[in-house]
């Protein structure tokens, strides 16, 4: 009887386990943490504030995935139209900024409109990187003022060091009529690529895992430390070992590859070139309702410690105690481009001060909860080293029979549904 071993219990691992169950194939799962869910797990403070590991929402248009997630929590789902805004030079700007220039300095808007118009009627030339794409799409002034600045803060590297492989629908490209209207009036359409999203009513985003985990063989507190593909044996930090027949892994590739016995030096070197961001999240609970009308906010100015804010109480009222609000701040680093320069605890007070500086918190607000956490693996950096290095790593793993899934196994910009389906895809490959 075929048995499939799955490393990781996040959305990719659960997608693999779900598919295996649908195919009547036995699976066994291993998770390094003492709780399941991986990157999609949620946690609750003693006084009732619920936070995710970074902002998580479901906005898949795939009705099958919608149904799977909703069924997992028996339809206990909130659905919203997302409201997103931006903070730039002490101004709040509706998102996306390229369609909402009204009220910005006249000279800046004039240059943006002039550059944007020219870009629409000029052959862009070769698009060698993300910077080239931005200038060709929006003109030089807007590109340098907004997405290049935000990208540096979010990805920790410059736009000319990034490919365009990750873009998809993530950056909206308006028609010239849209950008002109947004420069002349604040009355603009909502055109953010995420228009509707779903979130569990109770338990944070991790609530979606409820029934998906039911009945699965899950081994917690099993951190992988070694893989012998010759004998098909796994070794764990707790001293236990396990054999495997077929192996699906969502473990980050720079961690997985060095664990494999006999891995060639050039493959190990390629894995070391793969870059991702590290994120410190600062989680704040406030004894006041409605600190922001937005679900999340992008910050462009470098003098703010955080790059993005999200507001869990806007996702579900059950994410906070009654009469309270909450905010999660994200601060980005990376081993390759911007090493962590302070402890998570040292980020809390600067975050509070910047929340007060932008007016979201008041000096007299009663902060009833504060916490900070380090997320070692946050977002994949699509730098110019990625493709060649990834081809080497994936080619080797394919040769030795390890099937990769999820954001960190495929080393891609996966959303929830994409991670889930990548796990399913790994199982279908195994089963032929």
pLDDT digits (tens, 9 = 90+) for 208-240: 998 999 999 999 999 999 999 999 999 999 999
SS3 track for the chain: CCEEEEECCCHHHHHHHHHHHHCCCEEEEECCCCCCCHHHCEEECCCCCEEECCCCCECCCCHHHHHHHHHHCCCCEEEEECCEEEEECCEEEECCHHHCCCCCCHHHHHHHHHHHHHHHCCCCCCCCCHHHHHHHHHCHHHHHHCHHHHHHHHHCCCHHHECCCCCCCCCCCCCHHHHHHHHHCCCCCCCCCCCEEEEECCCCHHHHHHHHHCCCEEECCCCEEEEECCCCEEEECCCCEEECCEEEECCCHHHHHHHECCCCHHHHHHHHHCCEEEEEEEEEEECCCCCCCCCEEEECCCCCCCCEEECHHHHCHHHCCCCCEEEEEEEEEECCCECCCCCHHHHHHHHHHHHHHCCCCCCCCCEEEEEEEEECCCCECCECCHHHHHHHHHHHHHHCCEEECHHHHHCCCCCHHHHHHHHHHHHHHHHC
pLDDT at position 168 is: 73
Categorize the per-residue pLDDT at 345 as very low, low, confident or very high, splitting at 50, 70 and 90: very high
The rounded mean pLDDT for the chain is 95
Phi, psi of 265 (to 5 degrees): -60, -40
Chain region(s) in the chain for CATH 3.50.50.60: 3-34+220-274+384-431
pLDDT at position 169 is: 67
Chain region(s) in the chain for CATH 3.90.660.10: 277-375
Inform me whether the pLDDT recorded for 193 exceeds 70: no
Question: pLDDT per residue over 137-159, tens digit each?
Answer: 999 999 999 999 999 999 999 99
pLDDT at position 121 is: 87
> Hey, what CATH topology would domain 277-375 get?
Polyamine Oxidase; Chain A, domain 2 (3.90.660)
% the chain with pLDDT above 70: 99
pLDDT at position 77 is: 94
pLDDT at position 206 is: 95
Tell me which of 108 and 414 has the higher pLDDT: 108
Inform me whether the pLDDT recorded for 261 exceeds 70: yes
pLDDT at position 120 is: 87
Question: pTM of the prediction?
Answer: 0.95
Tell me which of 2 and 323 has the higher pLDDT: 323
pLDDT at position 1 is: 53
CATH architecture, range 3-34+220-274+384-431: 3-Layer(bba) Sandwich (3.50)
Question: pLDDT per residue over 89-137, tens digit each?
Answer: 999 999 999 999 999 999 999 999 999 999 988 888 899 999 999 999 9
pLDDT at position 2 is: 74
pLDDT at position 173 is: 82
Question: pLDDT per residue over 369-395, tens digit each?
Answer: 999 999 999 999 999 999 999 999 999
% the chain with pLDDT above 90: 91
Mean pLDDT over residues 292-317, rounded?
97
């Amino acid at each position: 009887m075929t048995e499939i071993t799955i490393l990781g219990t996040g959305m990719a691992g659960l997608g693999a386990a779900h598919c295996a169950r649908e195919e009547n194939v036995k699976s066994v799962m291993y998770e390094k943490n003492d709780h399941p869910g991986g990157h999609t797990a949620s946690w609750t403070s003693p006084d009732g504030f619920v936070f995710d590991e970074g902002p998580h929402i479901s906005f898949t248009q795939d009705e099958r995935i919608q149904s799977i997630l909703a069924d997992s929590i028996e339809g206990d789902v909130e659905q919203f139209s997302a409201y997103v805004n931006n903070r730039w030079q002490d101004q709040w700007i509706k998102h996306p900024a390229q369609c909402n220039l009204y009220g910005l300095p006249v000279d800046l808007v004039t240059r943006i409109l002039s550059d944007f118009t020219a870009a629409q009627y000029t052959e862009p030339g070769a698009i060698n990187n993300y910077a080239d794409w931005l200038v060709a799409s929006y003109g030089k002034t807007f590109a340098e003022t907004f997405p290049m600045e935000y990208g540096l803060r979010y990805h920790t590297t410059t736009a000319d060091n990034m490919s365009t492989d990750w873009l998809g629908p993530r950056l909206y490209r308006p028609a010239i009529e849209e950008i002109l209207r947004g420069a002349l009036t604040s009355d603009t359409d909502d055109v953010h690529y995420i228009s509707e999203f779903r979130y569990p009513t109770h338990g944070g985003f991790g609530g979606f895992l409820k029934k998906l985990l039911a009945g699965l063989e899950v081994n917690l507190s099993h951190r992988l430390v070694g893989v012998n593909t010759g004998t098909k044996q796994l070794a764990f930090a707790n001293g236990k070992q396990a054999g495997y027949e077929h192996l699906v892994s969502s473990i980050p590739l720079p961690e997985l590859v060095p664990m494999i016995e006999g891995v060639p030096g050039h493959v190990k070197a390629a894995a070391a070139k793969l870059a991702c961001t590290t994120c410190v999240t600062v989680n704040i609970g406030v004894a006041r309702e409605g600190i922001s009308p937005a679900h999340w906010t992008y910050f462009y100015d470098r003098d703010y410690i955080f790059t993005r804010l999200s507001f869990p109480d806007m996702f579900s009222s059950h994410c906070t105690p009654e009469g309270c609000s909450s905010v999660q701040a994200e601060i980005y680093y990376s081993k390759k481009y911007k090493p962590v320069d302070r402890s998570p605890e040292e980020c809390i007070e600067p975050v509070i001060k910047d929340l007060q500086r932008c007016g979201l918190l008041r000096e007299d607000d009663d902060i009833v909860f504060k916490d900070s956490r380090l997320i070692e693996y946050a977002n994949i950096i699509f730098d110019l080293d990625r493709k060649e290095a990834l081809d080497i790593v994936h080619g080797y793993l394919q040769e030795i029979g390890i099937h990769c899934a999820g954001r960190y196994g495929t080393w891609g910009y996966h959303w929830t549904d994409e991670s889930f389906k990548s796990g399913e895809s790994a199982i279908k490959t195994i089963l032929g």
